[in-house]
Amino acid sequence: MSETSKAQTAIDTLVNQIDRDIASYLEACVHCGECAEACHFYEATHDPKYTPTYKLFPLVKAYKKHKAPLRWITQIFGAPDEITEEELRDWEELVYDSCTMCGRCTLVCPMGIDIAGTIRKVREGYAAADIVPEGLAQARANVERTSSPMGVTARALLKQVEHQEEDTGLKIPVDVEGADYLALLSSHEIMASPEIIGAYAKIFDRAGVSWTLSTEAYEATNVGVQIGSGPLARQLVQRVVDEAERLGVKYVISPECGHAYGAIRWAGPNLIGRSFKFEVLHILELLDKLRAEGRIPPGERDTRKMTLHDPCQIVRRGGLLKEPRRLLDDACSNFVEMKGAGVTNYCCGGGGGVSANQRAEDLMIGAFGKKLEQIDDLGNIDAVVVPCANCRGVFEDGLFELDRDEIEVVSLGQLVADTLADDPKTAK
């Protein structure tokens, strides 16, 4: 793609992204700068360029030039220039490295502007013009080869399933037609914490849930959403939909992965242009439901002092605020909440593809420092429960880099499995 055509492709794509909501956001911004005060990248660096609304500049310019109402009058007093490839490249770091699309800035914005959602639209322009960070480009290449951003193959999944069957003594169903639930996983879970597969097996066995994994659709991570490529996001959702409908499942379970949940639950039907023939549940929703039905009775609670990290795409932008707390109350006897817990919680610093972008590592660790301050304010925390595999990876990296790896990082699904009553009759 030539330089001119790259810029033109980006402009065309950006202009196509602008609908009523995006236009109202761009029109309502009064440049008050409040959003900076909610952004962990700005707070960690105090560099004004990390002000969230400033990151939208390429889209603002395209809007003013091509789509703004009354532009035929305002342009009499000076038409804005077209965005150039140089400007696009200047903003690339702001669009990809310093925004996790966590949406915290929306909370402080007096105009209620969804900057995170708008950054997602800006990324569409960048992805179409192929101006993307190397780490995300590599993840995209891996997805095209294997469907997994980390290059995890079905063969690797089956190997991990085999290990978990040995560890738990339970049969783990794979490619079972007619099962009620199809469980998705993230690459990070399959490779770094495969015990979660065994944890699911233990929980579902206790609950009597009919479930399956699939060798065709095992990956929940949607790099298309992270990089900002609608066509790729659509392809990845379609793969899951085709397999879920072929197997005839009633539910697809999104794993402990933030953006994967948003991709399949909230964006999925819009990406493929039709409703699903199944329901999407987050694993925390399902566990909460099974717990409420008395099908997975809690046993002895973990006594460590624990707190909960709210993954942005599951809680603030996903709507699952109470489910993880109810599960934790049953699983932990010493659970404490951070200041700002719930919708105003800090992001881990590595969502929205930032953790896959090696160039952004220092910035990510800096932003994670804000998260760590929140945890440290509680004093002597033994473990942080993190119901998102990507966040867990960021926590582990951040705690190691900041020499704080005495704090344990725990999956909520794993904690629920570990604290199940041994004998349902003796459950509390």
Partner 1 sequence: MTFLEFTEGPMFYFAAALFVVAGLWRLVGIVRLGKKPDLAPARGSAATGFLKGNLRHFFPRGLFAQRTWMHLLGGYGFHLGLFVLFFFAAPHIAFIEKFTGLSWPALPRWGFIIAAEIAFAGLIVLWVRRFSDPVMRLISDWDDHVGTWLTFIVMLTGCLALQEAHDSLRAIHMLSVNIWLIYFPFSRLMHAFTFFLSRGATGANYGRKGMNP
Closer by beta carbon to partner 1, 267 or else 420: 267
Q: In the bound complex, what is the minimum distance in angstroms from residue 40's beta carbon to partner 1? A: 13
* 214 in Cβ contact with 182 (< 8 Å): yes
Q: In the bound complex, what is the minimum distance in angstroms from residue 310's beta carbon to partner 1? A: 12
Work out the number of other CB atoms within 10 angstroms of the CB of residue 258. 31
Q: In the bound complex, what is the minimum distance in angstroms from residue 225's beta carbon to partner 1? A: 14
Q: In the bound complex, what is the minimum distance in angstroms from residue 279's beta carbon to partner 1? A: 7
Closer by beta carbon to partner 1, 74 or else 426: 74
Closer by beta carbon to partner 1, 75 or else 426: 75
Closer by beta carbon to partner 1, 298 or else 319: 319
* 157 in Cβ contact with 213 (< 8 Å): yes
Q: How far is it, in rounded angstroms, from Cα 357 to Cα 139?
A: 9
Binding site for partner 1 (CB under 8 A): 18-21, 23-25, 27-34, 36-38, 42, 48-49, 51, 53-54, 67-70, 73-74, 103, 106-114, 117, 265-270, 273-275, 279, 316-319, 321, 339-340, 343-344
3-state secondary structure the chain: CCHHHHHHHHHHHHHHHCCHHHHHHHHHCCCCCHHHHHCHHHHHHCCHHHCHHHHHHHHHHHHHHHCCCCHHHHHHHCCCCCCCHHHHHHHHHHHHHCCCCCCHHHHHCCCCCCHHHHHHHHHHHHHHCCCCCHHHHHHHHHHHHHCCCCCCCHHHHHHHHHHHHHHHCCCCCECCCCCCEEECECHHHHHHCCHHHHHHHHHHHHHCCCEEECCCCCECCCHHHHHCCHHHHHHHHHHHHHHHHHHCCCEEEECCCHHHHHHHHHHHHHHHCCCCCCEEEEHHHHHHHHHHCCCCCECCCEEEEEEECCCCCCCCCCCCCCHHHHHHHHHEEEEECCCCCHHHCCCCCCCCCHHHCHHHHHHHHHHHHHHHHHHHCCCCCCEEECCCHHHHHHHHHHHHHCCCCCCEEECHHHHHHHCECCCHHHCC
Q: In the bound complex, what is the minimum distance in angstroms from residue 16's beta carbon to partner 1? A: 11
Q: In the bound complex, what is the minimum distance in angstroms from residue 18's beta carbon to partner 1? A: 7
Q: In the bound complex, what is the minimum distance in angstroms from residue 106's beta carbon to partner 1? A: 6
Q: In the bound complex, what is the minimum distance in angstroms from residue 30's beta carbon to partner 1? A: 5
Q: Which residues pair with 212 in a beta bridge?
A: 182
Q: In the bound complex, what is the minimum distance in angstroms from residue 312's beta carbon to partner 1? A: 11
Phi then psi for 355, rounded to 5 degrees? -70, -20
Q: In the bound complex, what is the minimum distance in angstroms from residue 285's beta carbon to partner 1? A: 10
* 371 in Cβ contact with 309 (< 8 Å): yes
